[in-house]
Amino acid sequence: MAVPDFQSFFKPLLEIASDKKEHSLREAREIIAKQMNLSQEDLNELLPSENQTKFDNRVAWAKSYFVQAKILESPKRGFFIITDRGIELLNQNHNRIDVKILNQYPEFQEFHSTKSIKGQPPDVIENRNETPEETLQNSYLSIRNELSTDIITKIKSNSPKFFENLVIDLMISLGYGGSRQDAGRSIGQTGDEGIDGIIKEDKLGLDIIYLQAKKWEGTVGRPEIQKFVGALHGKRAKKGVFITTGKFSNDAISYVETIDPKVILIDGKMLTELMIDHNLGVSTTVTYNIKRIDSDYFEEE
C-alpha cells in the first residue's frame, strides 16, 4: 500500500503517547510502519526534493501539528510526550483524528490560520492529504514543468541559428568550451555529415566533444544516432553529445548504452531542465527560504 495521508498518522501517534511516557520519533515511526503494514518500498518513497522520505516527513508533521495544538509537548528535539489535553482528546474515542478536530483548539487555529493561504476555502485546506512541505514542493514542480513546456515552445519557434547559439550557451554553462569566443568558432563549422560542431571539454582543450544539434518534431530514431556515431568513428572521436528539441526512441537510447565512443543524448525535456538549473533563458521571480530551527544556538553550556 502507499504511504497514507499525513492526517492518518494523527491517531496512531496519539495512541503511542497514551502511556504518558516520553517517546522518540524514531520509535514512533517503527511502531506506525508495522501497524500500517507498510513495505520497505513504501518507506523508501521520497519527497519531490528527494531529501527525505515521504513517510518520515508525514510522521514529523503529524507530531508538529499536535505540538501546535498542545496535544503533545516536545521536551527535546525528536521526542514527544502527551499533555492533559492530549489525554482528553484520546478519551473522546474518535475513529479518526484530523485537522477539523484540531481546529477546536485556539492555539492550533492561530497556527493554522486559513488567511495564510489566499483564495482557498477552509474545507480545501482541512482536507489536504499532503504536508505543507509536500504541497510546496509539488507546487514548485508544477511551476517548473509549465516553465519547461514554455521554453521548448519558444525554442521551436526560433531559427536553427538561434538553436546553435543556445547549444553554445548551454555547453559553456555546463563548464565546457573554454571561452564564449572559442566555443562560437567551434559550433557549426565542421561541415561533416552527422556533426554540427566541436567544443573543448575543458579550458585547456585536452579533449574534444563533437556535437549534433537538431531542432526536431517527434522522435529521433536509431538511424539518426548511427549517422552521428559513424561520423565520430571517422574522426576517431571518443565523446559526442546529440541534442534535440524532440525525443529519442527507446531503440536509440538502448543503442548508445552499448557502443564506443561515449554518446550522451539530450532530449527536449532534459534540455529545458538543464537550462532551468543553469539559469539559461530564465530568470528568478521570487525566492522562498525554508528554514529550520538551529538547535545548537539554543544549547546552554
pLDDT digits (tens, 9 = 90+) for 26-36: 999 999 999 99
pLDDT, tens only, 82-115: 999 999 999 999 999 999 999 999 988 888 764 4
**Regarding predicted confidence, which is higher, 245 or 290?**
245
Confidence of residue 278 (pLDDT cuts 50, 70, 90): very high
Write the CATH number for 175. 3.40.1350.10
Q: In this predicted structure, what is the pLDDT of residue 246?
A: 93
**Regarding predicted confidence, which is higher, 229 or 48?**
229
Q: Is residue 283 part of a domain?
A: no
Judge if 57 and 102 occupy the same domain.
yes
Q: In this predicted structure, what is the pLDDT of residue 300?
A: 64
Mean pLDDT of 242-269: 94
Percentage of the chain beyond pLDDT 70 is: 87
Q: Is residue 145 part of a domain?
A: no
CA atoms within 13 A on the CB side of 93: 0
**Regarding predicted confidence, which is higher, 123 or 279?**
279
Judge if 157 and 70 occupy the same domain.
no
The count of structural domains within the chain is 2
Is the sign of the CA dihedral 100, 106, 110, 111 positive or negative? negative
Q: In this predicted structure, what is the pLDDT of residue 183?
A: 64
Q: Provide the residue range defining the domain that includes 60.
A: 6-130
Judge if 156 and 273 occupy the same domain.
yes
Judge if 115 and 177 occupy the same domain.
no
Judge if 27 and 109 occupy the same domain.
yes
pLDDT, tens only, 44-96: 999 888 888 999 999 999 999 999 999 999 998 889 999 999 999 999 999 99
Q: Is residue 299 part of a domain?
A: no
pLDDT, tens only, 108-160: 888 876 444 444 444 444 546 788 888 888 888 888 988 998 899 899 999 88
Confidence of residue 243 (pLDDT cuts 50, 70, 90): very high
Query: Does 176 score more than 80 pLDDT?
Result: yes
Q: Is residue 135 part of a domain?
A: no
Mean pLDDT of 192-218: 79
Q: What is the mean pLDDT of the chain?
A: 86
Q: Is residue 138 part of a domain?
A: no
Own/partner long-range contacts of 94-97 (Cβ < 8 Å, ≥24 apart): 94/11, 96/7, 96/8, 96/10, 96/11, 97/7, 97/10, 97/11, 97/14
Listed residue (132, 156, 160) closest to 62, CA to CA: 132
Backbone angles phi, psi at 220, to 5 degrees: -90, 120
Percentage of the chain beyond pLDDT 90 is: 51
Q: In this predicted structure, what is the pLDDT of residue 205?
A: 72
Q: Is residue 284 part of a domain?
A: no
Q: Is residue 207 part of a domain?
A: yes
Judge if 126 and 241 occupy the same domain.
no
